[in-house]
A and B are shown apart, each in its own frame.
Chain A
């Protein structure tokens, strides 16, 4: 069986990647294939990498309060490339996210939102739950 492929991505200009790197390592240890974009990737670059690498999951890490802005731009760029959200790929978002923004992200189609203090096991469980539900597989 094909391993679940995850792109861990840091959109925007923020350089705090402790969380992103922990998630990347944790998901790799959970048996996923993980690619990390490195810092400061544009939404277009993230969407393009996701497409090229044929990933199942894009995990966005955003700490600066710009989660709504950057997430919507990544979704837009995916659309432009004909990638369908929750069919071809799912997006999860982690970072400093106020409770009231969680429904807004879910409305955009985000499959999981993870704040400070998140356990790796919860992220892994969410991914295992949502990926098989994607239409394509």
Chain B
């Protein structure tokens, strides 16, 4: 251990700080001190990190414990991946083609809620929801239409993302079948499907089956990927939705890592090497407006994950220890009141992400008013580019590293994140902590406490509890096509009338048998169902029948 500060220097600083306290006391009479009530550390000095060991805590970027960055150099951080999906597959296809003309290369498909929950467009549960918050994709026919803009691309250039979790198995299968039917070698194809079901129970709510059965399907996907689509990512483990549900920054990281540990152990139980798991897994995070706390969160996160992977889970491959995430997004920090102010908020959150060394994207400024408009999308894309190209933020790695304040906060964050993870480990891991309702309860409590603090005026939000403007908000967000539902209902009825229904029935029965056997991998059967034109509702229906549905009514 080599301490950064020697005893003599610390003594000098301590003397000086005592003097400073007197000066500060005197100054309080003369200057208006800013919200001192909330400030724990009005000035940071080496005294706040007296034992700081540079090599142990930081090292260099791209080297263990990765505090300063997972890459050794500043890297281009453009998230060239538009989150897109609206109405029918045809409408979405047009939108993708338009974005491609503008030079965008990749996209992340947003599915509508019926698709995310495994309901066909004509299911009673889907009424009113088809094509609303994303594209409706009920069968391989719909999927092929969405993928049409990529059909002539060489395999190595194709790298889409899909926000699919509870029905990730069906979407993986659709991607595989699309490849085969369109002359692509699935073994050469990349893609990222979110495939993080645990955070659905914790935060996002788009779960179908009980957690332990859902985890089995995740394990089936991991195994199947290695054999059939080895270039695809396993998953993107999300702290993002956990934070949006109202968690604290510490909970965001702790619950995300606890979930990732559950997945890592699941992978290992299926005979998958921990290094393989680590290499195939990325994260997704929130960036808040409390700049330094957030940067500290990310720096601590990198250190925590590297330590967990190396010391707890036994990874040996450095790449497997990296917390590779994307961030910048903080939709819940956007207000409906005075929506243009959100451009400022989004600039700050994007800046936070870049200061932390991660690629960023930001929401539309009309996020709190509905589905993002074209105008807001453009401002969002430009916000990121202004930071990237007009500032000097990309010129050095971890510019806040070495700040006494940020290092102190980073240590504090690490300690709190680790202690929360330990707590969950003691409960038996993330699955247990979710089944008992622990994570959900803690987040709901944090969200409620925050709301009360806003109402008491302790947390200030411009436009909400300060500088309030009571005039009506003049803004019309994007409106989804009201005809999409009708079109999709007709489309699926036509499909059911024209396909070989005997074959569909047979394939679904085979899937059911496989689902009932605990040691059978269900993925090849899902693929066969998709090939036979079985619908998402039919495939998920089989799992619903075998596993049952999950319901949470506590708050």
**When the two chains form their complex, are residues A17 and B205 in contact, meaning their CB atoms are under 8 A apart?**
yes
Residue B326 lies at the interface, judged by CB distance under 8 Å to chain A: no
* Residues B453-472 near A (CB distance < 8 A): 455, 461, 463-464, 472
Contacts of A17 in B (CB 8 A): 205, 245
CA distance A64 to B117 in the complex (A): 15
Residue B428 lies at the interface, judged by CB distance under 8 Å to chain A: no
**When the two chains form their complex, are residues A12 and B129 in contact, meaning their CB atoms are under 8 A apart?**
yes
The residue that A18 contacts in the complex, of B114, B117, B245, with Cβ under 8 A, is B245
Contacts of B314 in A (CB 8 A): none
CA distance A84 to B204 in the complex (A): 34
Q: In the complex, how many residues of chain A place their beta carbon closer than 8 angstroms to a beta carbon of chain B? A: 36
CA distance A58 to B358 in the complex (A): 43
Q: How close is B244's CB to chain A, nearest CB, in angstroms?
A: 7
Would you give the 0/1 interface string for A1-33, flagging 1 where the beta carbon is closer than 8 Å to chain B? Answer: 000000010001111111011101110000000
The residue that A65 contacts in the complex, of B117, B132, B244, B337, with Cβ under 8 A, is B132
The residue that B552 contacts in the complex, of A12, A38, A99, A120, with Cβ under 8 A, is A38
The residue that B117 contacts in the complex, of A13, A21, A36, A119, with Cβ under 8 A, is A13
Quick one: given A14-B113, A36-B553, are A116 and B368 in contact (CB under 8 Å)?
yes
CA distance A117 to B386 in the complex (A): 29
Quick one: given A17-B205, A36-B555, A65-B371, are A116 and B335 in contact (CB under 8 Å)?
yes
Residue A115 lies at the interface, judged by CB distance under 8 Å to chain B: yes
Q: Which of B53-61, B188-196, B227-235, B443-451 is the interface stretch?
A: B443-451
Q: How close is A57's CB to chain B, nearest CB, in angstroms?
A: 16
Contacts of B385 in A (CB 8 A): none
Contacts of B126 in A (CB 8 A): 13
Minimum CB distance partner of B554 in chain A: A36
Residue A40 lies at the interface, judged by CB distance under 8 Å to chain B: yes
Would you give the 0/1 interface string for B542-555, flagging 1 where the beta carbon is closer than 8 Å to chain A? Answer: 00000000011111
Residue B133 lies at the interface, judged by CB distance under 8 Å to chain A: yes
CA distance A37 to B555 in the complex (A): 10
* Residues A94-134 near B (CB distance < 8 A): 96, 98-99, 115-117, 119-121
* Residues A26-78 near B (CB distance < 8 A): 26, 34, 36-40, 42, 64-66, 69-70, 73
Residue B128 lies at the interface, judged by CB distance under 8 Å to chain A: yes
**When the two chains form their complex, are residues A12 and B113 in contact, meaning their CB atoms are under 8 A apart?**
yes
The residue that A117 contacts in the complex, of B128, B205, B461, with Cβ under 8 A, is B461
Quick one: given A12-B128, A24-B555, are A18 and B244 in contact (CB under 8 Å)?
yes
Q: Which residues of B approach A to under 8 Å, CB–CB?
A: 113-114, 116-117, 119, 124-129, 132-133, 200, 204-207, 244-246, 332, 335-337, 368-371, 444, 447-448, 451-452, 455, 461, 463-464, 472-473, 476-477, 479-480, 551-555
Beyond A25-B555, A40-B125, 20 additional contacts (C-beta under 8 Å) are A13-B119, A13-B129, A15-B206, A16-B245, A18-B245, A18-B332, A22-B444, A25-B448, A26-B451, A37-B553, A38-B553, A40-B117, A64-B113, A64-B133, A65-B371, A65-B479, A73-B128, A96-B370, A116-B335, A117-B461
